[in-house]
Amino acid sequence: MEYKVDYEDVQFTLFDFLNAGQLSDLPRFQGQGVDLYQSVLDESLKFSKQEVAPLNEKGDRVGVKIVDGRVQMPEGFGDVLKKFGENGFMAIDLNSEYNGMGLPTLINTAVSEFVMGACASFAFFHLLTRGDCNMLQSFASEDQKQTYLTRMTTGEWTGTMCLTEPQAGSAVGDITTTAKKNADGSYSIQGSKIFITCGDHDLSSNIIHLVLARVEGDLAGTKGISLFIVPAKRLNADGTPGMDNDVKLVSVEHKMGIKASPTCLLEFGDKGKCQGFLVGKQADGMKYMFQLMNEARLAVGQQGVALSGAAYEHALQYAKERTQGGKTLIIQYPDVRRMLMTQKAYVEALRCLIFESALFVDLGWHHPDAHVREEYESYLGLMTPVCKAFGSDMGFRVTELAIQTYGGYGFIQDYPAEQYMRDLKIASLYEGTNGIQAMDLIGRKFLKNTGQNLKKYLTRITGQLKQVEEQTELKPLVAKIVQAIGRFGAAAQAVGQQAADEARVGLMATPFLRAFGDIICAQLLVRRAAVALKQLGQSATPERKRFLQGKVEVAKFYVEQLLPETDLNIARILSQDVSALADVL
């Protein structure tokens, strides 16, 4: 299956709109620049198309299976993962002293879109291992970094995150996995973890599990949880993998999609011989894991962009080639154009959303001014649940429209849209369901600080919109977004007044997130359109002019056709209706 992506849109969003080159002004990225970033993007896209994409259909059809108690991956995955690590793609934004490239997270995010779009099942080996590496880079001891990090950044070893347990689900504080300290300073780990992505496979010589467990005697709930490194194989004196570490594969899930991503039920310490090593301070595990969880939530939003973007590109090509009645190309029908423009608008808006959030990561982590870092961290806190929930929900809507564009052919496996849809559905479920993300936004990110961060962010984007208002073509669009911001602000005030009523707030949470998501996406596209308009007069070729005009038209379409859904969601927020709470279900 060919991987398709609008690379010109990726580059325009990164370099023309978000000005990714500005990051080389930060001390962390000195000596870098657009040429380097462009080179990494070129090579990673080439690799994704030539090496990763051929795994996609094969992985979906063959899936994973258990052979002699271990997961056996489809043919080809191991060779590609090895090449992926050798090319440095596993650790693009990690520190160079641990074999990373030391590039911005923004560039890694773009590369991740290519890998995910080419083959979602393969991409999880990258996303989880890279996320583990970043967490270990932040919190592990130097000895642990040298032992584990240097081998994971190259892809020699892969990683997992082990939070969920069968009886606990999303209530991480209810976990029962235990850790008992041994005389040598290690810990004996015992418990079960479920839904562990890439939890067992035959692609790497060791799998490094990052496991949440409670040391005997520590507090109940999340405050008593610690984080442990638990290798699937114990290490020999020379650091090479040795004997099994009593991590048992119980089963793999048979899933709707991402069939070549082994989702495992693991038993730790079934024989009482599972050895783990504490990361950082005892009982600080949730604080550490939140870094990985938040990164994973951004990555899930990026999954929505990657798969929906690929689905749209295939649907677009099909519409340009398929005739109706042997005469008229279906792309000439207005309703088909409406569907395609809706797909294009969501894909480009979500790409802007994910990329700008990645830019916030770089500025929030690496800007030399502490006040600036704090400001961007506050913006990122608001963006994270929106990226995860809005990105996955609207991405799924795009795949649905892609199938509709194909007509009956979209429903069969001869065409790729149905696989993209199946592979993407999980994104609204894992890393905290989208309802949990909505509650996080309205509860922890809005109500807990009396709305100050939200107010600051809305003031910021209103100011940014005013800066492009001078361009006559965009002035009506700016006015409509600013009006929507005002209505949303009034709705947020109404939410604040009912903060004590948890049930009412719960009913408002998803409409709140979706209204916010539409406003964010609309203003991003209009701001980007302003950049395109400035370049239109300087463009040398008809192809480039058509591309730039497309940025303007997609902004118009989003504001006129999709942003009105904000009013529907605001009406839901302001409604006094509580019928969903009635005792009739």
So which residues are the catalytic ones? 431
Please give the Cα distance from 467 to 402 (Å, whole number). Answer: 35
Please give the Cα distance from 64 to 251 (Å, whole number). Answer: 11
Please give the Cα distance from 14 to 358 (Å, whole number). Answer: 11
Tokens of 482: 């600013």
Contact 455, 383 (CB under 8 A): no
Please give the Cα distance from 138 to 502 (Å, whole number). Answer: 35
**CA-based R_g, the chain, Å:** 24
The rounded Cα 449 to chain-centroid distance in angstroms is 25
Residue in this structure with the two tokens 């892969």, named with its chain if needed: 158
Tokens of 536: 């239109």
Contact 28, 366 (CB under 8 A): yes
The rounded Cα 453 to chain-centroid distance in angstroms is 22
Contact 5, 117 (CB under 8 A): yes
Tokens of 68: 């002699």
The DSSP 8-state label assigned to residue 5 in this structure reads: -
Query: Which residue stretches of 328-369 are H helix?
Result: 334-366
Could you tell me which of 271, 261, 269 has the C-alpha nearest to residue 199? 261
Contact 429, 300 (CB under 8 A): no
Residue 59, judged by CB atoms within 10 A of its CB (0-12, 13-18, 19+), counts as: buried
Residues making up the chain, counted from first to last: 585
Please give the Cα distance from 93 to 91 (Å, whole number). Answer: 6
Please give the Cα distance from 105 to 409 (Å, whole number). Answer: 38
Measure Cα distances from 79 to 65, 201, 208, 329, 340 in Å.
Answer: 18, 13, 20, 41, 37
Please give the Cα distance from 298 to 377 (Å, whole number). Answer: 14
Contact 186, 144 (CB under 8 A): no
The one-letter amino acid code at 56 reads: N
